[in-house]
């Protein structure tokens, strides 16, 4: 399956707030991912960013003047709204939110919103006191009741140096919200998918731990793709440097025991588990309260005890489609097949540990009771998307 943004028609309404400059990045990212982005600027927006910026980034004429006659003679505000897959208003000012809530239509953006059946996403950005105002809160409530998605602004330092809640969410967050809305009727719509990612860390003393090289990249990319296909996603992650995908519920854990506890909570009512985490097989029997000191040339012996095999412990959960991973250094296929049976999985994804750890690309071998499928070596993001599509096909078959 293609990127969810490919070929989608997105109307991007830009209003008069300093956050407008950040939306240039969003327009670029959406366009690069294959969307057709038509920007409507309000009069006030043009005081902050030039139309030429958006025109250059989207490759399309920026719209704004209702009196500019369209080349094909069709009245713009009706066609624009009717053809759009999604309308995004970012940044959405207090004034604009009030106008839309009141159903006004005094410029191209408000007219277009009145005339569209597409979902509408608004990203408020304004002074914190204006956002907290009773009138704004009431208008936001009206829009939400109407089915519009109105994001919560971020807290932090505003352009005018006050600190509070009123910042527009960053472009990657907006992109995640856009993807979730476009994917809302996708093959995983209504499903709760739980994904584990990254490596666990088992403390030796307050400053040291036993860990592994897992970057978490694959699990995070799987979570983003599952969101794009309509799932509600919970990502249970060991410590990583990665930014979690927007709209995905993130639960951070440290040890295998913590991951097991987080999973048992997340799996209540879940449809699928993708167990991508590199769980440490052993942990120190005891964690030293103090930092362990060197004593001359003497070595150190750590006593390790086994961690629970988390996914094997879920063998009784027949109501969940379970996908495991097997990073192997030898006998990949035989080992993967053994784990599929021993751990009671519906599917296992094998890869060559040496060729993939710390590498940007990965080749995957998918094993289930129907046979073996090979996915070619490709960048990890693309591999994750292709893998998730294979998982979805098997999940749909498993359900019937």
Is-catalytic flag, 95? no
| Interaction residues for ligand C5P, span 75-94 (CB under 6 A) | none
Closer to ligand C5P by Cβ: residue 102 or 334: 334
| 8 A C-beta contact, residue 273 and residue 395 | no
Q: Tell me the closest approach of the beta carbon of residue 32 to ligand C5P, in angstroms.
A: 33
- What binding mask, one character per residue, do residues 266-305 give for ligand C5P by CB under 6 A, x or -? ---------x-x-x-x------------------------
- How many angstroms separate the CA atoms of 181 and 286, rounded? 47
54 — phi, psi (to 5°)?
Answer: -70, -35
- Residue choice 273, 311, 340, 375 for contact with ligand C5P (CB under 6 A): 311
- What binding mask, one character per residue, do residues 212-251 give for ligand C5P by CB under 6 A, x or -? ----------------------------------------
- Residue choice 39, 122, 326, 367 for contact with ligand C5P (CB under 6 A): 326
Q: Find the length of the chain.
A: 400
| Interaction residues for ligand C5P, span 250-269 (CB under 6 A) | 256
Closer to ligand C5P by Cβ: residue 172 or 313: 313
| 8 A C-beta contact, residue 361 and residue 377 | yes
3-state secondary structure of 303: coil
Closer to ligand C5P by Cβ: residue 47 or 369: 369
- 119 burial type by CB count under 10 A (0-12 exposed, 13-18 middle, 19+ buried): middle
Nearest one of 107, 157, 116, 129 to 10, comparing CA atoms = 116
Per-residue tokens: 128: 């914190």
Q: Tell me the closest approach of the beta carbon of residue 203 to ligand C5P, in angstroms.
A: 16
Q: Which residues of 202-240 are buried (b: 16+ CB within 10 A; e: fewer)?
A: bbbeeebbbbbebbbbbbbbbbbbbbbbbbbbbbbbbeb
Q: Which element (helix H / strand E) includes 266? A: helix 256-266
Q: Tell me the closest approach of the beta carbon of residue 361 to ligand C5P, in angstroms.
A: 21
- Residue choice 3, 85, 309, 389 for contact with ligand C5P (CB under 6 A): 309
- How many angstroms separate the CA atoms of 80 and 68, rounded? 14
Q: Tell me the closest approach of the beta carbon of residue 307 to ligand C5P, in angstroms.
A: 5
Examine residue 337 and tell whether it contacts ligand C5P (CB under 6 A).
no
How are the residues of the chain apportioned to helix, strand and coil, as percentages rounded to the nearest 5? 35, 25, 40
Q: Tell me the closest approach of the beta carbon of residue 196 to ligand C5P, in angstroms.
A: 6
| 8 A C-beta contact, residue 90 and residue 168 | yes
| Interaction residues for ligand C5P, span 93-152 (CB under 6 A) | none
Catalytic residue among 127, 212, 335, 381: 212
- The alpha carbon of 136 is separated from its chain's Cα centroid by a whole number of angstroms, namely 28
Closer to ligand C5P by Cβ: residue 3 or 281: 281
DSSP string, 343-385: TT-SEEEEEEHHHHTT-SEEEEEEEETTEEEEEEEEEHHHHHH
Q: Tell me the closest approach of the beta carbon of residue 368 to ligand C5P, in angstroms.
A: 14
Q: At what angle do helices 217-228 and 171-182 cross, to 10 degrees?
A: 50
Q: Tell me the closest approach of the beta carbon of residue 337 to ligand C5P, in angstroms.
A: 12
- What binding mask, one character per residue, do residues 338-367 give for ligand C5P by CB under 6 A, x or -? -x----------------------------
Closer to ligand C5P by Cβ: residue 63 or 347: 347
Closer to ligand C5P by Cβ: residue 27 or 218: 218
Closer to ligand C5P by Cβ: residue 84 or 256: 256
Active site residues: 212
Q: Which positions lie near ligand C5P, rule CB under 6 A?
A: 256, 275, 277, 279, 281, 307, 309-311, 324-326, 339
């Amino acid at each position: 399956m293609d990127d969810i943004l490919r070929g989608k028609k997105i109307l991007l309404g830009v209003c008069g707030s300093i956050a407008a400059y950040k939306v240039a990045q969003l327009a670029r990212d959406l366009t690069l991912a294959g969307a057709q982005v038509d920007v409507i600027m309000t009069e006030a927006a043009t005081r902050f960013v030039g139309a030429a910026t958006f025109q250059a980034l989207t490759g399309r004429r920026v719209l704004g003047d209702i009196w500019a006659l369209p080349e094909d003679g069709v009245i713009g505000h009706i066609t624009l709204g009717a053809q759009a897959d999604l309308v995004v208003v970012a940044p959405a000012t207090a004034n604009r939110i009030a106008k839309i809530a009141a159903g006004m239509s005094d410029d191209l953006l408000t007219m277009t919103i009145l005339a569209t059946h597409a979902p509408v996403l608004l990203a408020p950005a304004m002074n914190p006191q204006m956002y907290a105002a009773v009138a704004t809160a009431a208008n936001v409530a009206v829009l939400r009741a109407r089915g519009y998605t109105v994001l919560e602004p971020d807290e932090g330092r505003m352009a005018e140096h006050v600190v509070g809640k009123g910042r527009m969410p960053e472009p990657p967050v907006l992109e995640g919200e856009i993807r979730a809305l476009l994917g809302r009727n996708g093959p995983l719509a209504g499903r709760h998918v739980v994904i584990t990612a990254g490596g666990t860390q088992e403390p030796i003393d307050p400053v040291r731990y036993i860990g592994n090289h897992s970057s978490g990249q694959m699990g995070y990319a799987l979570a983003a793709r599952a969101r794009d296909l309509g799932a509600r996603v919970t990502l249970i992650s060991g410590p990583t440097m990665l930014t979690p995908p927007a709209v995905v519920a993130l639960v951070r854990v440290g040890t295998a025991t913590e991951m097991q506890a987080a999973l048992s909570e997340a799996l209540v009512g879940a449809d699928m588990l993708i167990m991508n985490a590199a769980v440490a097989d052993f942990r120190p029997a005891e964690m030293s309260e103090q930092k362990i000191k060197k004593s001359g040339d003497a070595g150190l012996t750590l006593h390790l005890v086994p961690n629970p095999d988390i996914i094997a412990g879920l063998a009784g959960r027949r109501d969940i489609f379970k996908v495991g991973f097997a990073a192997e250094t030898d006998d990949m296929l035989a080992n993967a097949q053994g784990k599929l049976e021993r751990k009671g999985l519906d599917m296992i994804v094998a890869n060559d540990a040496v060729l993939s750890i710390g590498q940007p690309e990965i080749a995957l071998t998918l094993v289930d009771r129907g046979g073996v499928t090979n996915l070619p070596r490709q960048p990890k993001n693309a591999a994750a998307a292709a893998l998730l599509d294979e998982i979805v096909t098997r999940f749909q078959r498993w359900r019937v």
